[in-house]
Structure 1
C-alpha cells in the first residue's frame, strides 16, 4: 500500500488555500454556518459528559445512534466534494476494526477451544457461547460501531486544513464553556457526585480529569500556534490574539486540579511537556517566544496548584496506598485473563467476571468496582489476545501515521497538539477507566479521526 495519503497540492491549490498576512501564511477561515456544523459533535460530547458520560446502557445506545446519524449527515455533505472522501485512506484502520468486531461476534458462538464457557453449563443454559454475557457483548459491539462513526466524522472534518483547524479551535472553545459549567456546578454545590472533588458531570472525578487534561493540551497547542503567528506584533496584539486559548487553558487547568486526580495531573503534565519540547525543537525561529509562553503557562499552573484544594495534597500523600490497591486489583484480573487468554471472557463482561472472582476476603474492596482501572488489562481480559491485539494495533497505526505526517514544517502545531493529547488518555488509562465511559471513548475516537486525516487538503 502506498505510504502517501494524498498527492501534494499544486501551486494553484496552495495559492487558493492561503493568503499572506504580516509575513505569515493564513488559512482561509470557514464561514459561521460551517463552524456551527463543525461544533455539532463537540457540543454533543460535552452534553454527554455532563450527563454522567452517557454511562448508563440506554444513554450509551442513544449516543451511539446520534454518532451514526452524524456520520450519515457528514457523508451526505461530503459526497458532492468527492475529494473529501477519496483522499482519506482508511484501508488499514478499517481492516483492523473489522477484525476486532469479527472476533467479538465470534465470541457469541461456542466455536472455540473447549467450546462454550463453563458458566453456561453451570446455569444449565444451551446453547452456550465463548462470552459469559451475550447481551453485554452485543451492547459493546454496538458501541464500537458508534466509535467508528465518530472516527469517520472526525476524519472528514479534519481532511481539509481550514476545517481541521476550525474544528480544533471549536473543541477548545466548547471545552472552555464545559469547564466553566463544571466549575460553577462544583462551587455552587449543585454537582451530583459528592466527595469534595470536581467531576465534570461524570460519576468519577478521575474521568473528568482525563477530559480536562486533553482540553488543556489542545488549548495549549492553539495558544502556541497563535503566539507564534503574532511574533513581532507587540505584546498587546499577542495577548489579544491568544486571550481565548489562554482563558480556556486556565479554566481546564483549574478544573483538572479540583478533580484531585493524581495520575490525571501527571499524564497532563507529561503530555504538555512533550508538546512544549516538540514545538521548541521544530521551531527554527522565535524560540524565545515559545520559552516565554511556556514559562508563563507553567508558572500559572504552579500558582493554581499551590492554591489548589487540600484534597489533592492529601491524596498525593496517600499515593502508596492507592498503588497497593490497584496492584491487588490488577493481579486478580490478570489471573482472569490468564484463565481465558485467547478470546477472553467477552466484551462487557467485567461485572460478571468480577463477581465470579470475588471471595469473602476481597468482597469489601471489589464488589463496588466496575472496571479494572487499567484499560489495557480490561481489554485483554474481555477480548483476549485475539480481540485486544488488533485494537491495540489499530490505535497504534493511527497515531504512528499521524506522527509520520507532522514533518518539519511550521504549520502542523495543532496536529502535534492532537498527538500529544493522546498521551493524557494513554497514560491515565494505565491506572483508570476513562475509556470505559462512552462519551470519553467517543470523544477520543473523534480526535483520532481528526488527527489521522488532518490537513490532507489545503482548502476547499
Structure 2
C-alpha cells in the first residue's frame, strides 16, 4: 500500500503528481464487479444485498487508508450534495407515518418491504461512484480503473467463451446467448462495454506494452463475437458506433504519428467482419427483420409507463415498487402486453415511477454536474475510453434494462467516477496555473466590484 505524510500531500498536489492512495483499491473494486457479473449480475434479492454490503465495506476500507487532506471533497461537493438529496427524497415516504403520508397526498406504497433493499443498492452505487472519483482524482487519471477492468475482463471473457461453446452445442442456434447474467440484452451490453474497454487499451498511447495491445485486441474480438451471440441489436449497434467514435477521437486528440489509419484499418475491419459473421450465424440476422415493429413497441412502452408516473409525480410509489405498481395498474387491454415486465425498459422513467420526478431530477442534476466537470476539463485517453463504454451502457438503459442490473450499475459507477475524478484533478491544476499567471486578478475584480457598489450608493438620485 502506498503511503505519504499528509504534510507532503499539498506539495504533490501542486506539482500535479499522483497523490497517495491504496495500491489495492482498484483491484478490490474490480474483483467485486466481476463477482457480481459472474453471479447473475447480482440481479436478485440476496445477491444484490450481498453486493451492496460488499461495496460499502470496500468503500469504507479504502476511505480509512486514504489521507484525509485531499481537496477532492471541496471540488466534488455539488454532485455529492445532489446525490445525497436524491437518497433523502427517496427515503422520506418510507419514514413518515401513514397519516402524514395521506395528509401530504402521497400515493400508496405497494411494496414497502423492498424499500430498504432498493435504497441500500442506490446508496452503494453512490458510494462506488464517489470512491472511484476519489481514486481517479488522487491518481490524476482513470487509467488504473480502466486497465484493471479490461484486464479482469479477459478472464471473464474466457469463461464466457467456453460457456458459449457449450451453449452452441446444446441450443443449435435456436436461442440467444444470455451469458452469466441470464438476460440476453444485459449480457450483450456488458460484452459491448468490455469490447470498448479492450479497444481503448489496444489504442492506448505508446507507453502501453505491445503485448498488452495485442492481448486487448484479441479480447475485443472475443467480446464482439459474444455480443453478437446474445442477439442484442442495440448492444451491437452501440458497440460499433462508440467504437467508431473512439477511433476518431484517438486520431484527433492524440498526436501519434505511428498510429495511422493505414495501421488501424486492418484490425478494425477484421473485428467488424468477425462480428458480422457471428451475427449471421446467430439469431441476430433473423431478428433484424422486425426491427421497425420493435421500435414502435418501445415507444408504446415508454408512453404507457409515463402515464403511470403521472399518477404519483412528486413522491412516486416507493423505491423498489415498479413490479408491484405494474401489476396493480394492469387492465384487460394492457395485461397481455405488460404482465411480466419487471422493469420499465427506460431507466429515467422507472426512477420517476419509484421516487418521483423531483428525485429523478436530483439524480440527473448530479449526473449533469459530473458530465459538465468532465467536459470542461482536459481529458486524457483513459477518460475517453471510459466515456465511450458509459455511452454504450447509457444508450442501452434508455430502451432496455441495463441499469436495472446491479453489476452493470457498479461498472457504470466505476468508469464514470474514474473519469470524473480525473477531470476534477485536471480542472484544479488548470485553476492553479491560471492563479499563478494572474495572481492579482481575483483581488482586482473584487476591489472593482466593491468600488462600483460604493459609487452606486453615494450617487445622487
Q: In structure 1, how many angstroms separate the alpha carbons of the residues matched to 2:212 and 2:360?
A: 44
Q: In structure 2, how many angstroms separate the alpha carbons of the residues matched to 1:221 and 1:343?
A: 41
Q: In structure 2, how many angstroms separate the alpha carbons of the residues matched to 1:8 and 1:340?
A: 52
Q: How far off is 1:60 after superposition?
A: 0.7
CA distances 1:136-167 after superposition (whole Å, capped 9, x unpaired): 23321111111122112212332243784233
Look up the match of 2:399: 431
Q: In structure 1, how many angstroms separate the alpha carbons of the residues matched to 2:242 and 2:264?
A: 13
Q: 1:46, 1:178 within 8 Å by CA — same for their partners in 2?
A: yes
1:91 aligned onto 2:77: yes
Look up the match of 2:313: 341
Q: 1:197, 1:205 within 8 Å by CA — same for their partners in 2?
A: yes
* CA RMSD between the two structures: 3.1
Q: 1:399, 1:452 within 8 Å by CA — same for their partners in 2?
A: yes
Distance 1:374 1:148, change over 3 A: same
Q: In structure 2, how many angstroms separate the alpha carbons of the residues matched to 1:357 and 1:135?
A: 19
Q: In structure 2, how many angstroms separate the alpha carbons of the residues matched to 1:10 and 1:261?
A: 45
1:215 pairs, out of 176, 194, 203, with 194
Distance 1:415 1:165, change over 3 A: same
- Counting matched residue pairs gives 412
Alignment of 1:95-106 (within 5 A): 95-106=81-92
Alignment of 1:184-203 (within 5 A): 184-189=162-167, 196-203=175-182
Q: How far off is 1:83 after superposition?
A: 4.9
Q: In structure 1, how many angstroms separate the alpha carbons of the residues matched to 2:60 and 2:125?
A: 14
1:43 pairs, out of 19, 31, 47, with 31
Look up the match of 1:205: 184
Alignment of 1:16-415 (within 5 A): 34=23, 37-79=25-67, 82-83=68-69, 86=72, 89-108=75-94, 109=96, 111=100, 115=104, 117=106, 119=108, 131-161=109-139, 164-189=142-167, 196-226=175-205, 228-229=206-207, 239-286=210-257, 289-308=259-278, 309-406=281-378, 412-415=380-383
Q: How far off is 1:85 after superposition?
A: 6.6
CA distances 1:234-290 after superposition (whole Å, capped 9, x unpaired): xxxx7535112212222221211111111111222222222222222223442x724
CA distances 1:340-379 after superposition (whole Å, capped 9, x unpaired): 2222222211111110121233323222211111112111
Q: In structure 2, how many angstroms separate the alpha carbons of the residues matched to 1:146 and 1:299?
A: 40
CA distances 1:281-325 after superposition (whole Å, capped 9, x unpaired): 223442x72423542343122211231133011111121222233
Q: In structure 2, how many angstroms separate the alpha carbons of the residues matched to 1:240 and 1:340?
A: 55
Larger Rg: 2
Q: In structure 2, how many angstroms separate the alpha carbons of the residues matched to 1:305 and 1:191?
A: 19
So what's the TM-score if we normalise by structure 1? Answer: 0.81
Q: In structure 2, how many angstroms separate the alpha carbons of the residues matched to 1:416 and 1:294?
A: 18
Moved more, 161-170 or 351-360: 161-170
CA distances 1:411-458 after superposition (whole Å, capped 9, x unpaired): x11111112222111111111011011111122112221111127669
Q: In structure 2, how many angstroms separate the alpha carbons of the residues matched to 1:85 and 1:65?
A: 27
Distance 1:334 1:246, change over 3 A: same
Q: In structure 2, how many angstroms separate the alpha carbons of the residues matched to 1:190 and 1:117?
A: 51
Greater helix content? 2
Look up the match of 2:416: 448
Q: In structure 2, how many angstroms separate the alpha carbons of the residues matched to 1:315 and 1:242?
A: 34
Q: In structure 1, how many angstroms separate the alpha carbons of the residues matched to 2:320 and 2:170?
A: 26
